Amino acid sequence: MEKREQLKRTLKPQWVWAIALGSAIGWGAFVQPSVWMSGSGPLGAIIGFGIGALLMMIIAVSYGFLIERFPVSGGEFAYAFLGFNRNHAYVAGWFLVLGYLCIVALNASALALMVRYIFPSLAEQGFLYSLAGWDVYLVEVLIASAALVLFAYMNMRGATLSGRLQFIFVLFIIVGVLFLGVGAIFSSATSFENLQPLFNPETTTFSSIILIVAIAPWAFVGFDNVPQAAEEFNFSAKKALMLIITSLICAGLIYMIMITATALYMPWQELAISQPQWGTGDAMSGLFGNIGVLVLAVALSMGVFTGLNGFYVSSSRLLFAMGRAQIIPNVFGKLHSKYKTPYAGIIFTCVVCLISPWFGRQILTWIVDMSSVGVTIAYIYTCVVAFKAFTWSEGSLVVHRNKYMPSVAAPVKKSFSLVGALIGFVFLGLLLIPNSPAFMGAPSLIALVIWVALGVIFYLVKGPEFRKIPSERLEYLILGKQAEAEDETKASS
């Protein structure tokens, strides 16, 4: 029997925490505050992010439980197999790959966008064409492409390098946010009167808040990178839930601080009109001059870097798990001979994302909006599988299809997993139901249909081979449980 490739356990707790936090923050906290306030008002946006973080924490309970029991690469791909079957595993994996690839591409384009805002004369050189109203410049394409290649190379060198860098990047983000937030609060040039009206006067208070809550899966996506890295923990997987919860708390606070700092500068309604694209940049420039712009640019760059790095980790590990399970070409399940990293997944992520800068940010945004569906589906699978594992009381009769599926008497956690699944379905409805606050629109729906069609075609080609793999073999490839049993047998003999 061919040996199952396994990743080295090199990731420290602080690195995993940084992967979760840095991936959840990304670039949005430093670019979008004025956009969020224009629809919700300052307090509406702040409350919305607070509620969003709490909802993600409810979902995180299910992740913490499954990571502890099954610290293997693949995350939701493995959980869907555990709780359902190989077909569900493929569905979860296919949608999640899309989500991760899109977020890598979007972070690369955000770096080019930052250069375009700060140094327009540099970035807007080599005009190529316009797509969907967005002008594409050669220099922007080169900046995004260089970032993608650089982070692919760093991830190829090993999890130790990417984990250590992720932690350093996150420290820069925290220092920058504290500088801007505390400075804005105590500046003589700011006023809390600028936060009035606290909510969008053109809509209800509830609508102002729910508009932000609806984007929570996008705003906090990244904490779910933790299960993708679980196989590489050099610590007990029991710490995973604590790491996810603290990362979500910190992410929520960073969003709130940046919204507050932006709103304190001038009446937020005026700011949203005068600087609709980057109100935060205008606010920090007005408050702190060039120093403010520099600190914001560094924090934004670090946010982009953590997003790129974190989702390179998660996309390559997910592809590695799917390749190891032989649902995608076997090369994805191989490790680099020297660095012991899933090199094929890293190269594939880089090559696919290198195409994205040539399409312009508007088209990329449509695809990313659609990818939120994939991430939400992964949330639902995780919560439903955890719900099936938990029982309401001791002695409850539970029959599981998979012999490795645990049964744990935990009524509170079972309730959390049920609520988490319902939250996931609500988010999915907000994305797919027309006229909802987060409805992704016709272009994104078209992109979603195309991706689903590609998934069906691929499965028609690869599915017969995948379905022929014996269940015991597949359990070994995905969960590694057979390997554990064999090791225990050898140790006892």
Alpha carbon 3 to chain centroid distance?
31
Q: Does 194 map to a domain?
A: yes
Q: Answer whether residue 111 shows pLDDT above 70.
A: yes
Q: Does 171 reside within a domain?
A: yes
Confidence class of residue 398 from pLDDT cuts 50, 70 and 90?
Answer: low
Averaged pLDDT of the chain = 86
Domain for residue 157, yes or no? yes
pLDDT greater than 50 at residue 366: yes
Query: Across-strand partners of 130?
Result: 135
**What digits encode the pLDDT tens for the residues 441-485?**
788 888 888 888 988 998 888 888 888 889 888 889 898 865 444
- For residue 3, is it within any domain? no
In sequence order, the β-bridge partners of residue 409 are 391
- Residue 112 in any domain: the answer is yes
Distance CA(117)–CA(114), nearest Å, equals 5
Say what the pLDDT of residue 491 is.
Answer: 45
Contacts of 147 (CB under 8 A, 6+ apart): 107, 108, 111, 304, 308
Which residue segment(s) compose the domain that 187 sits in?
15-374+431-486
User: Pick from 374, 378, 342: which is nearest to 451 by CA?
Assistant: 374
* pTM for the structure as a whole: 0.89
Establish if 386 belongs to a structural domain.
Answer: no
CB-based contact 369:444 (threshold 8 Å) = yes
Q: Which residues pair with 136 in a beta bridge?
A: 129
In a domain, 415, yes or no: no
Domain assignment of residue 323, yes or no: yes
At 207, the amino acid letter reads: S
In which residue are the tokens 């599915």 written? 463
Question: Hey, is 227 helix, strand or coil?
Answer: helix
At 139, which amino acid appears? V
Question: Which three-class secondary structure state does DSSP give residue 409?
Answer: strand
The per-residue pLDDT for 234 is 92
pLDDT value at position 109? 83
CATH of the domain at 236: 1.20.1740.10
How many other C-beta atoms can be found within 10 angstroms of the C-beta atom of residue 131? Answer: 15
Task: Count the domains in the chain.
Answer: 1
